[in-house]
Amino acid sequence: MTAPTMGLGRVVSRPLEASCRHRRMYFSSSSIAIALVFFVSVFVEDTSSRHGVEKKIVFLFASLINTSLPCTRFFVSLTSLKILHLGMASKRKQFLFFALHSIFCIFGFMNEQTLSLRLTGLYPPEEARAIVLWVLEERFGLSWADVLCGKVNDLSAEKGIELEKIMRRLEQGEPVQYVLGASVFCGRKFNVDSRVLIPRPETEELVKMVVADVKARETGGGFSMLDIGTGSGCIAVSLKLKVDDAIVEAWDVSSDALQVAKGNAKRLDADVIFHCQDALAPPDDRLKWDYIVSNPPYICEEEAGAMHRNVLEHEPYKALFVSDNTPLLFYEAIAGYAVKALKPQGRVYMEINPRFTDELQVLFSGKGFASVSFFDDQFGKQRFLCAML
């Protein structure tokens, strides 16, 4: 999100009376035509035939939305939004919604605050506002300063429709990262969609730990690294970009996820080798890796009730959850593979469920690891494991 910028230039003040005059509705032949079409269409029974006509009208007059004719803005807004809400049960409800929305637009109330209010049933107020500001900047190029200056109201009719579609998806609980198709991880933008998990800040800490470990080692570079369960590729790509001379490979059992990961690696110019590989049935590798890194599924199904609906209803279930009966399923498999596939002094770094630190200590020690350590995340929870041979 862009920080407020200084030096915006001189702002010409305008007396209140002049400002009010500027808001008056000046009629023109075009705005009257739009008004007639809208009000006639409200009472036409055949909604399917209206759709195409209204859509043509919206884009025909889209160029007028930024003119000084608030009346034109009013009716274009009504007609545009009506297309998106034809499915509403009552024509009276349709008309009321469009009228209120257009009044907001005319008098400058359609800002980040009114948009944020639409999300406060799903998110805390500050988070809702942050989401709206992110959308306005990422999709419409509006900085915080632009938003404060009221430029949300200057969006064209076409962009207004796009913003409304985005808001409706957000109101349904869809994560903003999926709506925008991108998430920021370790300072870089990764493309994401419902085929992969959204990268978390905690996982950034895991990457930083591995990078710090590499830099602290006295031996030369050229370390070999494996990311198991790569998803969007955020771990593997970030490691390669931060440790340029490393040889990085990434596995995932999902071919769909690998498509996303490969796209991110190519776009960010990261030379990562990808393989479709099930972590529960790994190959019989020997002395191949200096580092094995993984953020496997570790949330028990019984914990789902405490999670936000935007996670449960939209993110890939298999990438998040394990059975309550086998909470350490992936750790067992990865530890068994790592003890053979790691080189001497090799390390395993993993994100974990804080509930099972004792069991993980026993598991990795029992597999033959000489040292098993746990580290807290930024919220004070034991979130990371480092096991060394």
**What's the CA dihedral at 49, 52, 54, 55 to 10 degrees?**
160
Q: Rounded to whole angstroms, how far apart are CA atoms 347 and 115?
A: 47
- DSSP element (H, E) containing 121: none
Predicted local confidence at residue 91, as pLDDT? 54
Predicted local confidence at residue 322, as pLDDT? 87
**DSSP for 31-91?**
HHHHHHHHHHHHT-S-HHHHHHHHHHHHHHTGGGGGSS-HHHHHHHHHHHHHHHTTTSS-H
With a cut of 50, list the residues of the chain below it in pLDDT: 1-89, 102-109
Predicted local confidence at residue 149, as pLDDT? 81
* CA 24 vs CA 20, 104, 261: distances in Å: 7, 14, 52
**Residue 131 and residue 117 in contact, taking contact as beta carbons nearer than 8 Å:** no
Nearest alpha-carbon partner for 388 in 235, 201, 213, 243: 213
Per DSSP, 303 falls in state G
Predicted local confidence at residue 266, as pLDDT? 97
Q: Which residues pair with 300 in a beta bridge?
A: 322
Q: Rounded to whole angstroms, how far apart are CA atoms 188 and 237?
A: 10
Nearest alpha-carbon partner for 341 in 273, 276, 305, 387: 387
Predicted local confidence at residue 95, as pLDDT? 55
Tokens 């990457």 -> residue:
207
Q: Helices marked H in the chain — which ranges?
A: 16-23, 29-42, 47-60, 70-84, 91-106, 112-117, 125-140, 144-148, 157-171, 176-180, 201-216, 234-242, 255-267, 309-312, 329-341, 357-367
**Secondary-structure class of domain 194-388 per CATH:** alpha beta
**Residue 155 and residue 104 in contact, taking contact as beta carbons nearer than 8 Å:** no
* CA 271 vs CA 40, 137, 156, 248, 250: distances in Å: 60, 30, 41, 8, 11
Taking phi over 0 as left and psi of -120 to 50 as alpha, with beta for the rest, 13 belongs to beta
Q: Rounded to whole angstroms, how far apart are CA atoms 174 and 166?
A: 10
Domain ranges of the chain: 16-107, 194-388
Q: Rounded to whole angstroms, how far apart are CA atoms 156 and 130?
A: 23
- DSSP element (H, E) containing 123: none
| 208-238 pLDDT per residue, tens | 999 999 999 867 678 999 999 999 999 999 9
CB neighbour burial string for 319-336, b if at least 16 within 10 angstroms, e if fewer: bbbbeeeebbbbbebbbe
**DSSP for 340-368?**
HHEEEEEEEEEE--GGGHHHHHHHHHHHT
| 264-316 pLDDT per residue, tens | 999 999 999 999 999 999 999 999 999 999 999 998 988 888 887 778 878 88
